[in-house]
Amino acid sequence: MRPNQLADFRVPSDAFLHPDGERVVFVVTQMDLEEDEYVRQLWIWDGTSTRELTSGRSDFSPRWSPDGTRLAFLRKGTDDDAQPQLSIMPVDGGEAEVITDFPLGISQLEWSPDGSKIALVASEYLEEIDDEDERKRRPRRITHPSFRFDNIGWTYDKRSHIWIHDVATSTTEQLTSGEFSEASVAWHPDGQQLTFESSVLDERWVKPFNQIFTVSVGSDSDPQAVTEPGDWSWSGYSPEGVLYAIGFVTDTISLRPTQLHRIDSDGTVDQLTDLDRNLMPGHPPGPLAGPRFVEHGMTCVLEDRGEQRVIAIDHDGNLSDVVGGKRLITGWDPNPDNGSAVFTASSPMQPGEVYLWDGENETQISSLNDAFLAEASLVMPEEFTYESDGHEIHGWVFLPDGDAKVPLLFNIHGGPAAQYGWGFFDEFQVYVGAGYGVVATNPRGSSGYGYDHVVTPCGRWGEDVPPDMLDLMSAPREAGKQFDRLDLSNMGIMGGSYGGLSTAMITSMDQSYRSAVAERGVYNWVSMAGTSDIPFFMELYLGTDMPHGAEELWKASPLARAHTITTPTLVIHSETDFRCPVEQGQQFFSMLYHSGIDAELLLFPTGEGHELSRSGSPKHRVERFAAILAWHAAHLMDGASV
């Protein structure tokens, strides 16, 4: 695969069954390099074939009306300042009509059970200023430390609230208001009540705890909290009107796997599961990774050992497997009446397709990527495991065609509570296409392998050799023992976010790498504590914070040991990275430069954030690949072109 082929593949998402159980609507996303944008359109399976349903440049979040006659979705216009708005179209023919005009747009829509209303989540400014140029000119008055969020922008002066759109009258009225934001709405079957998530704690800016609430529709009653504060990620009603939620009550930041709970009408909250894996993983995030109700319970996507599979959970919390395999199921929508479902999935050699499942067998109903697969020469990885410090570590190796030795390029994921797995990843395919043997592992700290595995690094990055770094430092050589084409004398290392931190840490302890790319990483925890949009992260992973923890934070910082690095290093960062702010990359580059190391800083301009490699400007994503390949080629392939 070549970098310019980023625009050749399509990714399906949000696949929903029509109430008739036969038709399917889904979103197809594809990059347009010439226009430097992502094109998102709705497609339909009509029972025989798939075709484009809408022609907008940014149509997404489709939802069938309960009677199946209309389709609601979000449409973003083509103007630079356009925001997603509610649109409705007749299913059997006719143009879509844009219904709303919220200045900051809509983030969620859900039909009421009888189809007469649509619940919307929309943002609004706290202060009314008619002139947007004047709003941008004025200084920002900040009263709490979490005043911006990566890939969203400034949040200190905005709140998200619930609105109710009446379909018959085409009027929209605000249901909730005030200082707190609401998210993730779901209807009660009687259409008289909604559930949602919100954080109303005074310290919500630094302690990310929320609660599940309910609110009556069409009345002046205030929302009612139905859980204590904790880590809650989903709530929804069963067809019988029973409220369920995923999360747990806590006042301590942790990495505990969230569990399914039933919330009874008397306020009793019963935990139904005791899982050591994550329900509804956030990679990618979306409504169809969460629970979907079926007869005798619900189904949900579960993250496990590099896979994402679907499990069933009955009303008593008993589990059973439904659909899985060596792939990532990225969305799942069952028909509660007959046991069938539609789902989207990707695998290492498949960016994604849409499938129907009849209760036993599955049928692929889309062919979005046939042309891409015929041209891209993708590679299937080989799985391997190795022992590190008495623990089994799981990983993959991608090898180019042929029998010759190849330079080894070691990739480290972000998080660290994330995982590499059995899904399509353009990074690995581009690097193996350039002639590298790619090694990728899930060290301790990764998700998908249980609580003990994911919490191992917490509080230990100040050690001489932290346990996760021990796992990572062993990985290339362990892979080399099992795959003799990997050239251990010609190794490069790279990673983003936690992977950037790890790249800096490892090259400070292991001088055998000939090339390094450290991207959007954390290099100085002391300054990170005062600049990141997730200020709770230091307490979670380091067990301390500023000001009392300055010594421990510095000791855990890659910058504290960066003076021992000798590996030529390309540092990549983005000016609008609010997660690991740009000062992190500047400090690391400056340290390398003053130490006389061959180093460069590739800085992407304002507008690009922490998610550049995954959702940044298409042109910037291609330029990023070009810079990475050129850097590694200069140091691992003796300057050969790639």
Q: What is the per-residue pLDDT across 392-445, written as a single tens digit (0 to 9) for each?
A: 999 999 999 999 999 999 999 999 999 999 999 999 999 999 999 999 999 999
User: First CA to last CA across the chain, in angstroms?
Assistant: 11
Quick one: what percent of the chain has pLDDT higher than 90? Answer: 86
Per residue, the 3-state secondary structure of 456-509, as one string, reads CCCCCCCCCCCHHHHHHHHHHHHHHHHCCCEEEEEEEEEEECHHHHHHHHHHHH
Q: What sections of 368-448 are H helices per DSSP?
A: 370-376, 426-433
Average pLDDT, integer, range 477-503: 98
Can you give the pLDDT at residue 496?
97
**pLDDT score of 285 more than 90:** no
Per residue, the 3-state secondary structure of 102-152, as one string, reads CCCCEEEEEECCCCCEEEEEEEEECCCCCCHHHHHHCCCCCCCCCCEECCC
- Report the half-sphere exposure of 234 (CA within 13 A, side-chain side): 24
- Report the half-sphere exposure of 192 (CA within 13 A, side-chain side): 4
The kind and range of the H/E element at 619 are: helix 618-636
Instruction: Quote the crossing angle between the two packed helices 426-433 and 618-636, to the nearest 10°.
Output: 40
Give me 359's structure tokens: 């209760």
**pLDDT score of 639 more than 90:** no
For CA atoms 610, 613, 614, 617, give the dihedral sign: positive
**pLDDT score of 286 more than 70:** no
Can you give the pLDDT at residue 192?
96
Average pLDDT, integer, range 572-600: 97
13-22, 23-32, 75-84, 339-348: segment of lowest average pLDDT: 75-84
Can you give the pLDDT at residue 157?
87
Strands 362-364 and 515-519: unpaired
Question: Taking a C-beta distance cutoff of 8 angstroms, is the pair 99, 64 a contact?
Answer: no
Average pLDDT, integer, range 449-463: 97
Question: Taking a C-beta distance cutoff of 8 angstroms, is the pair 115, 100 a contact?
Answer: no
Can you give the pLDDT at residue 640?
47
Average pLDDT, integer, range 448-469: 97
Using 50, 70 and 90 to split pLDDT, how confident is the model at 69? very high
Average pLDDT, integer, range 501-519: 98
Question: Taking a C-beta distance cutoff of 8 angstroms, is the pair 403, 437 a contact?
Answer: no
At 288, is the secondary structure helix, strand, or coil? helix
Question: Taking a C-beta distance cutoff of 8 angstroms, is the pair 531, 559 a contact?
Answer: no
Q: Which domains does the chain have, with CATH numbers?
A: 1-98 (no CATH), 379-636 (3.40.50.1820)
Can you give the pLDDT at residue 282?
64
State which amino acid sits at residue 430.
V
Can you give the pLDDT at residue 642?
39
Q: What is the per-residue pLDDT across 309-352, written as a single tens digit (0 to 9) for each?
A: 999 999 889 999 999 999 999 999 999 887 899 999 999 999 99
**pLDDT score of 124 more than 60:** yes
Average confidence score pLDDT of the chain = 94
Q: Which among 454, 150, 473, 495 is positioned nearest to 303, based on CA atoms?
A: 454
Q: What is the per-residue pLDDT across 239-255, written as a single tens digit (0 to 9) for each?
A: 999 999 999 999 999 99
Q: Which among 433, 361, 355, 424 is positioned nearest to 400, based on CA atoms?
A: 433
Can you give the pLDDT at residue 16?
97
Cα separation, 225 vs 213, whole angstroms: 4
What's the gap between Cα 377 and its chain centre?
A: 27
Average pLDDT, integer, range 460-473: 97
